Every structure is written in C-alpha cells, then in structure tokens.
Structure 1
C-alpha cells in the first residue's frame, strides 16, 4: 500500500444479508486511519482503505429484515478490488443452495484465482464452501452452521471454537464466526492491510472488544431440529427430557431396538454427533442455562444435569465452552441480570 493507493475492499451485499453488517463493515473501514486524527488532533487522517458495496446487478434492493441496501456497483467491480468481503447469509442451515448464488460463487472463484483476499462474516463462509475453496482447509462459521458445514462439506476442517480463522495459500481465506464477530473480521483486515496501530485506534474509537474466547460460549443446541430418521428422532425427543439419568446412551439404544453398532452409526449420520457427544451437549446446554439464572453451587448444577463428578463436569465444560463454569456464570449471569434490570425500569 502507498500514499496514493488505498486498499480497495468490495463488500458483497445480497438479499439474504443484514444491512447492519454490510454498512457496519463499511463504516469500520471508512473510520480506519481517518477518525483518530479527527478526534485527537482535529484533522481527519488519510483513509488507507476504500470500501465499496457491490451486488449482483448493482443499485437498490431489499435485503434482510426488509431494509433497503443501495449497492455502489455490480459484481464486476470485484475484479478491480484487493479484498472481497461476504457478510452473513440469512438462510436456514441445510437449506439447498444449488443455483441460488451461482453468480456470486463464480465471482469468488475468479477473485481467488487472481490472488485476492476473500473474507466472510458469520454464515457467509458457506459460499466459500459451495465454491470449493475451503476443501482440505481449516474454516469457521456461525456456531449454528458448524455441524451443517461439517456434514455437507466433509473435507473441510471446521473449527467451531474459533471466532476467526485464516486459511489457504497466503492466508487469503479469512472467516469470522457468528453474530458481531464481523467486528473481529474488520479489525483483522484493518491490521493486516493498514497496520496494527491503525486497527487499535479504530477499536478504541468504536469501543470494540475482541472476541478472544471464541464463539462457543454463545452456542446453543437446536433441540427442535429432529432427525429425518424416525427411530433416531424418537430417541432425540426422549433424551431431551431424560439426559440427566444414568446410562442415557444405553437407554436410547434399548429404545431404538437396534444393535449397538447400527444405532451409533445411524445416530451419527442423523445428528452429526455420536450419542454420547449429543448427551454431553444437552447437559452442558442445561448447565449454561442454570449458571445464568440461579446461584446454586457448581457442584449442585453438575449433579443436577447428570454428572456425579463435578471435576469432570468442569473440565468438560472448559473444553467445550472455552470458559470455566465460574467464568461463564460471571460473564453471562451478569449480562442477564443487567438486561433484567433494564427491563424492570421500563
């Protein structure tokens, strides 16, 4: 980068994206290098990044949540960009995408072949997977899409615990996890393209806190998404209410009437998890809820969700959630209390 040539970033907007992410990224990139001087010295600094909103045909269209987005240019503008950013896709995990984003996928493949950086926020990583650009690589996406990505694209190594992953040749494929981790993505790109100090200044101005614990503390299991396999779906319904009982996997296997190997194979195929991993996930989700809403000792919560050994529970929780139970309670219990206090004053 030199004084006369700011880095060109195209932000790809689709009808399935949120305007808040599209324009939030745009504002962050515009703020970099410019606003710190304006606030501290009274004179805007030189902007090292030039963002542009692009869409399939350019112009105005209605995006997610019925918000109008006006693109600056059509997809072809990406050919002249240095970086292409893809916000999230507001589509349910597992919804067929065949033929739906052909133009955008062709654009991403073309830009990747030309050596450009491709960056995605949230579920936008699904487009990179559909384009075949993540085969054999580490990747991440929104926690609700991680299991789907693992099943649909088995050659991709999905890192569900990580809020940001940079992969591929020259680390030109960059993915942020879920929700507001697009802020992490924007700061990472600013640091990489304009320098760490510029990124730090942008973070200070916008009061952005890096999601250093990853996205797993925010994850929830979609219990209502039943498997198409009727036998396994019946087991899912039962375990949702009986996860705390002793030997739950054996009980499900007995209920299924299947041999052990057949049961485990069909359960894994239907849910994307082994029966034991599914039970652990249900138990930890209930433990999260209890840690947020009551003040029972952690040992009591462990016992209530099915773990006699509180030490094992704490180690498992730390490995799966990236926080200890006590850390989780401090972070999310305090958040719930604060939101409750605000609600009560209205």
Structure 2
C-alpha cells in the first residue's frame, strides 16, 4: 500500500487539500468495490493537530504530526494563499521534513502556489516546475534557479511534480492516480468527478497584465506608451528617445524589470488586446488582426498560438461571450 501524506499547512486552500484527499479516497473505494485491497494509506500531516486554512474560515484536523511520520511515499503540498512570504515563514517547519523524506525516496507534488513552499526546500533548483501563471513573475524573482514552465498544467522532474493554476491541481492528482493505479482508474475518477483529463497547457487562461511591479520609472513610461499605442509600429529607438536612455541600457533595464524583451512585450500587449476583442466582440479574426496592428495573417496566427496555445479561431470559439440571440438559439 502506497502511503500518501497530504500536508496541512496554515493558510492552505481547503479545496486543493480536500479535493486531493477525496480523489485518492475514491480510488480506494473503487478497489474495495472490485474486491481488491485499498491502494493508498492517506494521511493528513500537520505541524499541529488543528490548523486554520482558507483565511481562517476552516480548521482541518491532521491525522498525524510530522514528528510521527518517519517514512512516506508521496507528499502532497496543497495551494496556499494570502501573503506568500508570510505563508512560507509560518510553515517553515515543513521544509526540512520534506527534504528528508525526498532524500529517503519519497516523491513530492506541489499544487498551484504550493510550489513556493516546495521551492523553499531547494529541491526545485535546476528542475522543471509549474505554478499559477499569475504568480510566475514573483516565483522567477524568488527562485531563479528553478526552471519555471509558465504554460504547463503539469510538470514532472525526477520524482517532483507541480501543477499550474487553481483547479488544475485536479489534473495533477489524476496524473498521479494514473501512474500508481493505471489509466482506467484515472479515467473512471475523471468521469465520476467530471474532470477534463489530459489537459497540458494553462496558456489559454493566461492574462497578460503588464508586469509593472518594479521601480524603474523610465521602463514604466515605455510600457505605458506601448499599451496606449500598440496598434502603431513602435521601434526600440523610438522608445529610447521617449525616455532618454541609450538603447543598450534601455533593453537591459526593460528585460530586468518585465522579464520580457521590448519586442516580446509589444507582441504580448497586441495579443492580449486581440484576445479581449475575440472574447467580447463579433469581429472576425482578420478584423481583429488589423485592429491590433498586424498586417500578415501567418505572423498573427503564429504569434497568437505561441502565446495562447490556440489558434485565434479556436480561442474565439472557446472563450467568446455569447450574445442573447446566440444564447436563445442554444436553448
């Protein structure tokens, strides 16, 4: 029987903690129904027996303290919320225990922002990982040695697993169930819990918000100019003249402040504008392409798919708001 230790950190998000427990428990239920022994010994492991989670709204009672768990096979680190620095500090007691268990052969899986607690162990240095796309800039700044794959829903690297944003943790738990219990069991769980299995990318759900959490005022001025004039052809020299900074220094400062080159930033702003138009308006793809300043269909479609993982038409069909008339036609 495989021992699964689901951590109960303070400020955990209850959904990822309880959702993980429910899925693994359901596998045991299916095994018993088929006359087989349960596959998993599921533990809730805490620093103390009663821990407040989800902003203090709920209390989760651990079944074991970390001092009582000497060996385990899989550690699940649920998502955490609130101020991440504070959440890490109040849960720091978990860190040496996680490292010790991993070094003894346990695997470790972090869910969403639980990747920050996992990264504090140092185990993500040089390893592929994922977290919520909204926290990618903060994560890269805190843990530059980790190989963050912002677009991924699931990563696996030598016994360490991570999931992307929010409810994508369900896809990672299904992935682990498939690994430990087989494809058919994972499919059965996906059907029972109505989870879309085999999701690989969180790019379609990513919103580009401009990355202005920095103190470089000249770069911010350039960003604001780009976001106001993205329909026009903007050159790097034009931006350098605007902020009175030499090109080499400007490009270096822009990359440091935003984690994008100037040209990447311009493209991201254009694509974000295109996404919004495809979601909210009835324009066709070519009309949107011209609206955001592209003249070549191949270039636009290629850049759009690179950023979102979908073609413009597929994105429009997936995310556009239906008009009242369209809704009536579906009733």
- The TM-score, its normalising length taken from structure 1, stands at 0.86
Structure 2 unaligned spans of 5+: none
| Aligned twin of 1:324 | 311
| Aligned twin of 2:93 | 103
| Aligned twin of 1:337 | 322
How far, CA to CA, are the matches of 1:337 and 1:15 in structure 2? 41
| Aligned twin of 2:152 | 162
| Aligned twin of 1:146 | 136
1:255 to 242, 255, 278: 242
Q: Deviations over 1:51-103 (max 9, x none)?
A: 2222221224243372332222222344332110011121457x577744321
1:124 to 111, 114, 122: 114
Residues 1:79 and 1:289: Cα distance change in structure 2 (over 3 Å):
farther
| Aligned twin of 2:42 | 51
How far, CA to CA, are the matches of 1:241 and 1:106 in structure 2? 48
Pairing 1:259-298 to 2, within 5 Å after superposition: 259-298=246-285
2:24 to 24, 29, 33: 29
How far, CA to CA, are the matches of 1:191 and 1:135 in structure 2? 27
Deviation at 1:310, TM superposition (A): 2.3
Deviation at 1:178, TM superposition (A): 0.9
How far, CA to CA, are the matches of 1:211 and 1:180 in structure 2? 14
How far, CA to CA, are the matches of 1:22 and 1:102 in structure 2? 18
| Aligned twin of 1:214 | 201
- 8 Å CA contact 2:31–2:38 kept in 1: the answer is no
How far, CA to CA, are the matches of 1:209 and 1:65 in structure 2? 31
- 8 Å CA contact 1:292–1:332 kept in 2: the answer is yes
How far, CA to CA, are the matches of 1:44 and 1:240 in structure 2? 62
Residues 1:189 and 1:17: Cα distance change in structure 2 (over 3 Å):
same
Matched, 1:15 2:10: yes
| Aligned twin of 2:67 | 76
How far, CA to CA, are the matches of 1:305 and 1:142 in structure 2? 27
CA RMSD of aligned residues (A): 2.5
- 8 Å CA contact 1:34–1:46 kept in 2: the answer is no
- 8 Å CA contact 1:54–1:71 kept in 2: the answer is yes
Structure 1 unaligned spans of 5+: 1-5
Partner secondary structure for residue 80 of structure 1: coil
How far, CA to CA, are the matches of 1:22 and 1:341 in structure 2? 39
